[in-house]
């Protein structure tokens, strides 16, 4: 049963506590997720935000469906997402720099209290703005509908209607405060001995008749000006007697008596105290009303800001690529009860490579690929720079985006969620000094294998290729058998064609699934970047390459080989 008072999140449904597994930094780099996030937004903090959300994976299908439905709504409603982001930015400013949710001193003067009142008014406008934006848009996702209901309930449960009336009443009371009239007492030496508030006025101060007559009687023409225009012969004569600024103001019948030796810089504080005294009823009402709403918090709503940024930045990025002609689709979940297929991908491509291809006006090659019981492990072979790593990386990106709720590159992508992605790509030289390259590879593979479950995705790129063919083949063969025994969805990109030819030796009846040979097709030595299930081309492919570059015996020597 849903707890309606529980703060809402746009990353998971209520009463759902996902079990996340975080992609390692190595996997993030191998898949190029850091690069993709840098393309999505130029702001470093936002790149970090996007990557942190993408790299936390859960196999819970409810989370995947929840996110993908929200993203669909946000992607389709550009006006809504822009309005909400603008509102949330304002709420974020109120949280970081305003006084909402912060305890104010009992001694706060009327100006502090009125500022706080204005912030409450801005907050109410923000809450209403979010609700109106969601109401005006065509939304169907569970998450945004729940947010709409949550905002409405938050509005009413916090007594916002009553607060609006209170603020309107206070505004009516304080709206007419346009100016103050001050009186300055002089001693026998014509020195300022006190300052007091004569009146608070409903109009800005101008040259009143009584003051005009007074000035005309006691002043000469060159001392009293007829207007407020600046003149170069004006001189400023500050009143700044020496003394302690910490002395308290002395109030006597509404007059602020300046303590002897006090600093003139404390005059604003004196005025605040006098104003509070003159407006005691207004101050009292302000404090009473604000005390009623001191518990109002904006934390629940401001927590949605990074989540909205996550969806919005991806929506803007994908919209830009779609306008350039790239295809994207919403991932769909495969029910485990339907069949043993755990992925059906049509016309997919590597999103990291796509932007480069589009800039160079090249043709983007797409592929189809499935995971099922019969196709659980792919032994992928083909030419150097023929696209093996590209397709291996693409599959990891597809699962990451789909489970993050984001549209995926391709025509269709149906899948069963994975719990995590593990990659084993060639290691840097400086990481292999102690164990040697083969030892480091074996150690890393064992750690990855131990972490994998039957719901994981394992991507191997030239694993065990840093030693002799015989040693590498022996280790790779046993490793693939162990992978099949555990039932891990795997793409093994390798140059060991013999491993793909010996598929029958790898497949055992008691395994959770079967391995199959997948090749990057060649067209007489030209790279096609298209994959298909077929036996490895091996020597025939090498012969095509040799003929293309003129390095057969006959082409090199001009003689036929005996």
Convert the pLDDT of each residue in 102-121 to its tens digit: 555 555 666 666 667 777 77
Decide the pairing of beta strands 192-201 and 179-186. antiparallel
Cβ-proximal residues to 473 (8 Å cutoff; 6+ apart), any chain = 496, 498, 499
Task: Determine the Cα angle at 344 with ends 71 and 463, to 5°.
Answer: 100
Give percent of the chain with pLDDT exceeding 90. 40
The band of 264, judged by pLDDT with boundaries at 50, 70 and 90, is very low
* 26-30, 168-172, 332-336, 445-449: least confidently modelled range: 168-172
Tell me if 533 sits within 8 A of 518, measured CB to CB: yes
* pLDDT tens, residue by residue, 446-470: 999 999 999 999 999 988 877 677 8
For domain 324-552, is the CATH number 3.40.50.300?
yes
For residues 254 and 277, the answer to whether their CB atoms sit within 8 Å is yes
In this predicted structure, what is the pLDDT of residue 360? 76
Indicate the pTM of the whole model. 0.75
**Which phi-psi region, left, alpha or beta, contains residue 410 (left: φ > 0; alpha: ψ -120 to 50)?**
left
* pLDDT level of residue 354 (50, 70, 90 thresholds): confident
Give the residue range(s) of CATH 3.40.50.300 domains in the chain.
324-552
What pLDDT score was predicted for residue 363? 80
Residue scoring higher pLDDT (90 or 494): 494
Phi first, then psi, for residue 54 (nearest 5°) are -60, -40
Q: What's the token pair of residue 113?
A: 């209290």
In sequence order, which ranges of 370-453 are alpha helices (DSSP H)? 388-403, 436-451
- SS3 assignment for 118-175: HHHHHHHHHHHHHHHHHHHCCCCCHHHHHHHHHHHHHHHHCCHHHHHHHHHHHHHHHC
240: pLDDT strictly greater than 90: no
The per-residue pLDDT for 159 is 67
CB 459 within 8 A of CB 30: yes
Q: Which of the residue ranges 300-309, 423-432, 505-514 would you say has the lowest mean pLDDT?
A: 423-432
How far is the CA of 479 from the CAs of 32, 195, 342, in angstroms? 26, 90, 22
User: For residues 484 and 57, what is the distance between their CA atoms, to the nearest angstrom?
Assistant: 23
What is the rounded average pLDDT of the residues 165-174? 66
The confidence score (pLDDT) of residue 236 equals 32
pLDDT at 234 (0 to 100): 39
């Amino acid at each position: 049963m849903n707890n309606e008072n529980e703060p809402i999140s746009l990353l998971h449904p209520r009463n759902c506590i996902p079990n996340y597994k975080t992609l390692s930094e190595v996997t993030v780099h191998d898949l190029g997720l850091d690069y993709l996030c840098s393309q999505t937004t130029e702001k470093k903090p936002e790149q970090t935000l996007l990557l942190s959300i993408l790299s936390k994976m859960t196999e819970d299908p409810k989370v995947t469906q929840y996110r993908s439905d929200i993203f669909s709504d946000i992607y389709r409603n550009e006006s809504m997402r822009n309005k909400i982001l603008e509102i949330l930015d304002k709420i974020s400013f109120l949280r970081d720099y305003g006084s909402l949710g912060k305890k104010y001193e009992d001694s706060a003067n009327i100006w502090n209290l009125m500022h706080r009142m204005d912030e409450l008014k801005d907050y109410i406008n923000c809450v209403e703005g979010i609700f109106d934006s969601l109401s005006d848009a065509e939304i169907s996702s569970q998450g945004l509908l729940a947010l709409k209901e949550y905002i409405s309930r938050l509005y009413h449960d916090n007594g916002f209607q009553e607060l609006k009336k209170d603020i309107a009443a206070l505004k009516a009371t304080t709206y007419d405060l346009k100016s103050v009239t001050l009186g300055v007492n002089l001693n026998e030496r014509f020195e300022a001995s006190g300052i007091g508030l004569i009146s608070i006025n409903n109009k800005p101060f101008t040259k009143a008749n009584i003051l005009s007559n007074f000035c005309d009687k006691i002043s000469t023409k060159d001392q009293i000006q007829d207007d407020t225009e600046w003149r170069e012969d004006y001189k400023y004569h500050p009143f700044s007697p020496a003394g302690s600024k910490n002395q308290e103001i002395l109030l006597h019948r509404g007059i602020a008596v300046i303590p002897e030796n006090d600093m003139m810089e404390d005059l604003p504080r004196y005025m605040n105290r006098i104003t509070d005294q003159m407006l005691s009823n207004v101050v009292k009402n302000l404090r009473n009303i604000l005390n009623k709403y001191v518990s109002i918090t904006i934390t629940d709503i401001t927590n949605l800001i990074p989540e909205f940024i996550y969806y919005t930045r991806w929506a803007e990025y994908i919209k830009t690529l779609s306008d350039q002609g790239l295809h994207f689709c919403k991932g769909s979940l495969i029910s485990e009860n339907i069949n043993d297929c755990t992925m059906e991908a049509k016309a997919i491509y590597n999103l990291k490579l796509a932007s480069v291809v589009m800039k160079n006006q090249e043709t983007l090659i797409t592929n189809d690929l499935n995971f099922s019981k019969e196709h659980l492990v792919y032994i992928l072979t083909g030419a150097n720079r023929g696209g093996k790593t590209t397709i291996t990386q693409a599959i990891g990106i597809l699962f990451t985006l789909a489970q993050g709720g984001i549209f995926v590159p391709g025509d269709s992508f149906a899948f069963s969620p994975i719990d995590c992605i593990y990659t084993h790509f060639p290691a840097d030289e400086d990481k292999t000094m102690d164990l040697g390259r083969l030892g480091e590879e074996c150690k890393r593979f064992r750690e990855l294998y131990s972490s994998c479950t039957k719901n994981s995705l394992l991507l191997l790129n030239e694993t065990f290729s840093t030693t002799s063919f015989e040693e590498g083949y022996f280790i790779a063969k046993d490793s693939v058998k162990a992978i099949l025994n555990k039932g891990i969805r795997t793409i093994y990109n390798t140059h060991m064609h013999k491993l793909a030819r010996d598929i029958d030796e790898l497949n055992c009846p008691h395994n959770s699934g079967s391995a199959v040979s997948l090749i990057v097709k060649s067209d007489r030595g030209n790279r096609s970047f298209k994959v298909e299930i077929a036996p490895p081309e091996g020597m025939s492919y090498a012969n095509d390459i040799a003929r293309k570059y003129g390095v057969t015996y006959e082409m090199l020597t001009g003689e036929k080989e005996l």
